Amino acid sequence: MAIIIDGKNLAKNIRQDLKLEADKLKERGIIPHLAVIMVGDNDASKVYVRNKSRACEEIGIEFKEYILPSTTKQKELLELINNLNNDRKVNGILLQSPIPKPLKIQEAFNSISPEKDVDGFNPQNVGNLCIGQDGFIPCTPLGIVIMLEKYNIKIDGEKVAIIGRSNIVGKPMAQCMLSKNATVTICHSRTKELKKELKDADIIISAAGKRNMVTADMVKDGVVIIDVGMNRNDEGKLCGDVDFENVKEKASYITPVPGGVGPMTIAMLMSNVIKAAKKQNK
């Protein structure tokens, strides 16, 4: 029976530490400030932004939301980002995804100043992660690394299988694991014999967005399971990519959905904002 990794409690402890850091900055007259841009009327995005706003309020980070209509042109989006880049009060800029088509999200990410790119999606921060230089690491992969370390789960020398190759989770997750000396396999929709790849893994990180993609017969005894998936079951309840009830019988550690990776992602965003405020104020 697996030990359940409590991301909710871990994130709570991290937020408490971040509040102390924010208080110290305020003693120096520095108020960390996060600007969040949301384009369109996506219900899921509204929930995510609300959660980020609450975390900012708890820690003492000033939060300002910029809501743009779905008819917004690319030029208008880039102009707003440029204004925020030049606003010295703003320490971090986050563009909530998805954004409506035909807007080009990567062009928008590219235009966010690397020093304010608290999501870690600007090419400069992507490159820094690849070559081991300091920068902003995307929040979900960073949260997973912290989670593994807090539970004293060995990464060095372990075989890690990552399901998903997105720029948000899969690719930066692979770089994070490589930096910790893991042997990494990235699996995706074109991977042949997925079961064979997973069966050999010591740690499986699933970010496929497909319910019950990872089943008990696909994993070995003692595996560590990190479930990044956010899906809905037939009853409409949140669930991950992993058949939790059956896989937990074989795993040594497993994250639940909800209450696993999600809270850590928001905690790492807050951490990146505090880091940005420190760096920008020397």
Q: Does domain 30-114 have CATH number 3.30.565.10?
A: no
With cut-offs at 50, 70 and 90, classify the pLDDT of residue 42. confident
- Is 52 an active-site residue? yes
CA 36/CA 66 separation, integer angstroms: 6
CA 81/CA 136 separation, integer angstroms: 18
Tell me: the pLDDT tens digits for 87-114?
Answer: 999 999 999 999 999 999 999 999 999 9
Tell me: the pLDDT tens digits for 201-216?
Answer: 999 999 999 999 999 9
Tokens 């399971």 correspond to 225
CA 97/CA 206 separation, integer angstroms: 20
- Is 119 an active-site residue? yes
Tokens 């807090």 correspond to 150
If you average pLDDT over every residue of the chain, what do you get?
A: 97
Q: What percent of the chain has pLDDT over 70?
A: 100
For the domain covering 139-261, report its CATH number: 3.40.50.720
Catalytic pick among 52, 116, 248, 250: 52
Catalytic pick among 6, 17, 74, 96: 96
Region(s) of the chain under CATH 3.40.50.10860: 30-114
Catalytic pick among 12, 26, 104, 119: 119
pTM confidence score = 0.96
The stretch 263-273 carries a mean pLDDT of 98
Region(s) of the chain under CATH 3.40.50.720: 139-261
Helix (H) or strand (E) holding 46: helix 43-59
- Angle at which helix 7-27 crosses helix 43-59, to 10 degrees, equals 50
Burial label for 221, CB within 10 Å (0-12, 13-18, 19+), is: exposed
Tokens 């690397």 correspond to 114
CA 282/CA 274 separation, integer angstroms: 12
